[in-house]
């Protein structure tokens, strides 16, 4: 049996448009996935649009996890999401793992 601190973090895959209607569910899903060790990876490759409310949900989860010693990594954000993170300087707040296919038009 592996120790919780050395196990792989949970991966949550988000897709489509994330907006005001989705923000509470996204927040709940990420908190639940982080579990006791407070680690979660959020795969954003399939996200085509994200509004300020959904971004706020990600920021809120990031802060809550950090306060308890956890981490949240944003993996493979789509070009649109990556651009938004850059424009809002949130690329400095989040750890971001680029995808292997970042030079594609996805």
Measured distance CA(12)–CA(23) in Å, rounded:
14
pTM of the predicted protein model: 0.84
Measured distance CA(56)–CA(65) in Å, rounded:
14
CATH class belonging to 10-97? alpha beta
pLDDT for 36 equals: 85
pLDDT at 37 over 90: no
pLDDT at 49 over 70: yes
pLDDT at 29 over 80: yes
In a 3-state reduction of DSSP, which class is residue 79? Answer: helix
pLDDT at 106 over 50: no
Measured distance CA(63)–CA(45) in Å, rounded:
22
pLDDT at 34 over 70: yes
Measured distance CA(3)–CA(45) in Å, rounded:
29
Rounded average pLDDT over 35-57:
94
């Amino acid at each position: 049996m592996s120790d919780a601190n050395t196990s792989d973090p949970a991966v949550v895959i988000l897709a489509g448009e994330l907006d005001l209607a989705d923000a509470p569910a996204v927040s709940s899903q990420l908190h639940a996935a982080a579990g006791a060790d407070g680690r979660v990876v959020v795969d954003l490759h399939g996200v085509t649009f994200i509004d300020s409310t959904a971004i706020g949900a990600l920021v809120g989860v990031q802060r809550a996890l950090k306060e308890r010693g956890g981490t949240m990594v944003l993996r493979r954000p789509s070009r649109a999401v990556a651009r938004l993170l850059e424009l809002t300087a949130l690329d400095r707040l989040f750890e971001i793992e680029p995808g292997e296919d970042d030079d594609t038009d996805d």
